[in-house]
Structures are given as structure tokens and as C-alpha cells.
Amino acid sequence: MLSQKRKQLVSEINDLLEIFNNPLPEKEIDSGWNIDNQIMMINLLVDVRQKIENKQALPAHFNIIKIMDYWGVFKGDIVDKAAELDCNLRENYNGII
């Protein structure tokens, strides 16, 4: 069974996955999203969710925002939601493995 902190992280990931499993709004596309990095983000989030559910460690220095920046995405509502998840992962996850 997942702890409350893990459940919250999984919920945040599922919220982002719900966004990515639908066509993105034009303002997000204008912020740098395209079908390729949308698919990569889905894969990344599914992997992170599986690691949390299986109590596995995330890679050292894991940072969703740096990954998105590398893809050329650095603003928008999705970035804000991902930044919140990224912060929560750093603050909560490694201590509850």
C-alpha cells in the first residue's frame, strides 16, 4: 500500500498525465511543446510513477524542469505544474523510499 506522501506524488503525476494524454492548448504549443516532447514527457512521468509505486530510487540529480528546458520548454501552465511536482519529489520522495 502506498503511503500518503506517495499517493500525493502519484496523484500529481496522474494530473500531468491527464494533460499530456489530450491535445495541448495552443498557448502550451507556443511555449515549446510539440508531439515529440509530449510523448517523451508521458514516458518520463510513467517511469517516475512506477518508481514511486515500487519504492525505487529516482536518478541522482533528477530534475523535470531541467529536462523540459533541454527540450526547449520553459514557460506555461504545464511548466508550473511540473515545477510543483519536481519540488515535491525533491522534498518528499527520497526520504520515503
What does pTM read for this prediction? 0.90
pLDDT at 72 over 90: yes
Spatial CB neighbours of 3, under 8 Å, sequence gap ≥ 6: 96
Name the residue type at position 93: Y
Q: How many helices (H) and strands (E) does the chain have?
A: 5, 0
Whole-number pLDDT of residue 1: 65
The pLDDT assigned to 95 comes to: 52
Question: Tens digits of per-residue pLDDT, 4-43?
Answer: 889 999 999 999 999 999 999 999 999 999 999 999 999 9
Residue 53: per-residue pLDDT: 92
Of 93 and 80, which is predicted with more confidence?
80
- Domain map (residue ranges) of the chain: 4-93
